[in-house]
Structure 1
């Protein structure tokens, strides 16, 4: 029997590595100045990677379920490591196309597979703390950029851009491979000793999943699409805020350039902290209730942002929205497990992560289109207030429908066997 906390540490090692991709901004200026590539050409690689991260998570979800977390994470390590190290070769050869294929294509595929590989396994190892378990892994993803950014910046000054990619690519591969080597699913019907004792003494009740479905069956349910819609809106709002927080704060409340830069750094902390904090809270409040709280917070935030003149309050509202964005990622796989069971939760989680790619495109495009046509960020706040209100209504509807489904199940379970068999015949 393996130690489940070391399994969690292995998952964090994988997510820390692929999360390093979020430090991409540190490469932009050096590539433009040193290589003579345009800012657009450099940005395309990151766009390809982020688009592929969500879609590859969906396409390879079945692969992860079929081959297990260890093989899948090793494939992710090879793809992501090769993508990062290959970027160094592209820089050395002065080939933008090769850079798009390595940093964009290979790293994007590795990121998507590496993201979902350990999460479904953690859910099975932590039946008593699903939220905390997924929160730890996804926190690692958020923290990856905080570690990579200063390391990459220092390496580029010391050894150059190509060698930086070689070193980081090798480092990511080793860390991911070591994590993958230890990860394995728990025995069937695994339950930690503390949970067993709590159930035996009556201190704890076993919270059963709503049902056990395959990925193919799950996508045919309205609960899947309700959760998908909620996650898409939550992701779009969060990425929108991340993409324009600095100029928005400077324009709306007159925040200084230095203050806006500090805000962006603090947003990274709230993004990562929200992933762990909200996930841990969901083990006590319930996943459906946490999503309702997300939307209540954001409704209030988007209502207050256009009328707020105080710099500190304005920043606090932005940070709350960003924490809900991070919390949505950590609560998603646990919520999927609650609704559809753990049979193919990796594949289901992968399908739900298409919202990651779509939200990454939809949020920034919407804010730029509104700002471009109106010349103000104020209509943006009201637009997202409307979208978040829709998500809030869906979250209430989902909660009521889950309760209705549970009551129907209870009636069926309480029905006498003889009576059931006569009805069936």
Structure 2
């Protein structure tokens, strides 16, 4: 991997291209990053963070059993993985823009209906549809979009955009509580659904699949009009050779899927149970929630750091360092120390959970390039998501057999090293098609 995280080969700048600063994404480029940040916010909101208030809101509204509703979250998450594959396949065929529009409108309509379900079974169906649409649309669209717009600077672009997940963790619960207080449960879901539908409609006018469609160039570097026209023609006519059979036989596909999948497993394993863990070591619930918010804010800051490191040192090297850093974080979580040490651990947690989505997406782009990203990502994201939802089984086994989280954290340390080893063997060359006018990529 080159010094600036590009796809192998020479770093020379072609005569028709003038390089720009790392954070010089251009006006339209920053706009795509902002759109992606909102998409990642919604992914985190309706597949993870929202469960902190969704279940309880229906218990309060209908008096249903909390444990029963909570049990629906696991199968809904698994079916959300199916959504990730099916909608990623649609992105591969139709492009990110149209999928964003359709997915957000459907998600909004589902949310409006979800607020008015009258039986636990309807609740389960609604939760499944929400996971299906949020995982498939809000998870896959921004990664595809930013990798296409910023093949060289994707690390930094994703670093900015994935802050949306951290901001969701810090703000969603108080926001939803405020809306429930003002509008009631049913109308709150209607308000949220309406906002999502508007967001989807606006996306039709806002989003473009490639910068060339707007007369811009990838990475906001200065290309000739002829070069941009050639890029756009290639992009529109390209048929990826990475079919399902080819990908399933591809060594790097499995290394990326499993290597980053286990790191995502430990990531969700920590963030989803951080409040119960803090309570288990003696902190009251309100203090634990405040600490959790603190970790989320650290996460937002370090999202940029991992993106910067990605561009500076290369995705593969940064990911290996990230895996070792996460192992140190899990070791800290095993220690019952002073308040000062606990806040140090929260800093480590915030820094650790920040990197996985940016690095995993960037690695797919590094290996398969902007033209073949969507084809490869439909399989890789699905397998990685399968590992992500396994974290709850690991936590449950630890609690059942040992009565605390320590066994899970020890197992997570083992997985951190497994992830680092697998990532080490990922190729440093781009295997996908690249722009014909770009001498900075390996073919």
Could you say what secondary structure the match of 1:343 adopts? helix
1:203 corresponds in structure 2 to: none
Whole-Å separation in 2 of the counterparts to 1:44 and 1:307: 31
Separation in 2, partners of 1:32, 1:96 = 10
Alignment of structure 1 residues 254-403 onto 2, 5 Å: 254-355=282-383, 357-398=385-426, 401-402=427-428
Does structure 2 retain, via aligned residues, the 8 Å contact 1:23–1:146?
no
Alignment of 1:135-150 (within 5 A): 135-150=159-174
Distance 2:126 2:404 in 1: 38
1:370-394 deviations in Å (ceiling 9; x for gaps) = 2321234333332222221222222
CA deviations 1:122-159 (Å, max 9, x no partner) are 21212331112223333224434544433321222222
Structure 1 residues 241, 141: closer, same or farther in 2, change over 3 A? closer
Aligned to 1:402, what secondary structure does the other structure show?
Answer: coil
1:304, distance to aligned residue in structure 2 (A)? 4.2
Residue 33, structure 1, aligned to residue 60, structure 2? yes
Q: Structure 1 residues 97, 371: closer, same or farther in 2, change over 3 A?
A: closer
Name 1:230's counterpart in structure 2: 259
* Residues 56-65 or 352-361, more deviating: 352-361
180 and 136 in structure 1: CA distance in 2 versus 1, 3 angstrom threshold: farther
Distance apart, 1:86 and its partner CA: 0.9
1:35 shift after superposition: 0.6
Q: Give CA deviations for 1:203-232 in whole Å, capped at 9, x if unaligned.
A: xxxxxxxxx852533442211111111212
Matches within 5 A, 1:162-181: 162-181=186-205
Does structure 1 residue 185 correspond to structure 2 residue 204? no
CA contact (8 A) 1:16 1:144 kept: yes
Q: Distance in 2 between matches of 1:274 and 1:263?
A: 17
Q: 1:291 Cα shift?
A: 0.8
Distance 1:317 1:162 in 2: 39
Deviation at residue 73 of structure 1 after TM alignment: 0.6
Distance change >3 Å, CA 77–CA 176, structure 1 → 2: same
**d(CA) in 2 for partners of 1:302, 1:134:** 25
Q: CA separation in 2, counterparts of 1:220 and 1:262?
A: 47
Partner of 2:136: 112
Is 1:70 the counterpart of 2:97 in the alignment?
Answer: yes
For structure 2, the 5+ residue unaligned runs are 1-25, 225-239, 432-443
Shift of 1:171: 0.8
Q: Distance in 2 between matches of 1:180 and 1:155?
A: 28
Are residues 174 and 14 of structure 1, via their aligned partners in 2, closer, same or farther at CA, if it must alter by over 3 Å? Answer: farther
Structure 2 distance, partners of 1:382, 1:103, is 32
Question: Is residue 367–residue 429 contact of structure 2 (8 Å, CA) maintained in 1?
Answer: no
Q: Which residue of 1 aligns with 2:249?
A: 220
Against the structure 1 CA distance between its residues 176 and 134, is the aligned structure 2 distance closer, same or farther, given a 3 Å change threshold? farther
Task: Classify 1:325/1:13 alpha carbon distance in 2 versus 1 (closer, same or farther; 3 Å).
Answer: closer
Is the CA contact 2:109–2:193 (under 8 Å) kept in the aligned structure 1?
A: yes
Measured in 2, the distance between the counterparts of 1:267 and 1:174 equals: 31
Higher relative contact order (CA 8 A, sep 6+): 2
In terms of Rg, which structure is larger? 1
Q: CA RMSD in A?
A: 3.0
User: In the superposition, relative to structure 1, how do residues 38 and 132 fare at CA in structure 2: closer, same or farther (>3 Å)?
Assistant: same
Deviation at 1:72, TM superposition (A): 0.6
Once the two structures are superposed, residues 280-315 of structure 1 have per-residue CA deviations (whole angstroms, 9 ceiling, x without a partner) of 321112110111111111222333443452333244
Change (3 A) 1:404 1:68: closer
Pairing partner for 2:39 from 14, 36, 52:
14
Shift of 1:266: 2.0
CA distance in 2, matches of 1:43, 1:346: 33
TM (norm. structure 2) is: 0.78
Counterpart residue number, 2:9: none
- More displaced, 68-77 or 378-387? 378-387
Q: 1:82 touches 1:107 (CA, 8 Å); kept in 2?
A: no
Match of 1:418 in 2: none
Matches within 5 A, 1:78-157: 78-90=105-117, 94-157=118-181
Equivalent pairs, count: 386
Q: Residue 5 of structure 1 corresponds to which residue in structure 2?
A: 30
C-alpha distance in 1 between matches for 2:327 and 2:178: 41
C-alpha deviation, 1:329, in angstroms: 0.6
The 2-side partners of 1:15 and 1:377 are apart by: 28
Alignment match, 2:74? 47
* Matched residue SS, 1:37: coil
Which residue number in structure 2 is paired with residue 423 of structure 1?
A: none
State the 1:167 CA deviation. 0.9
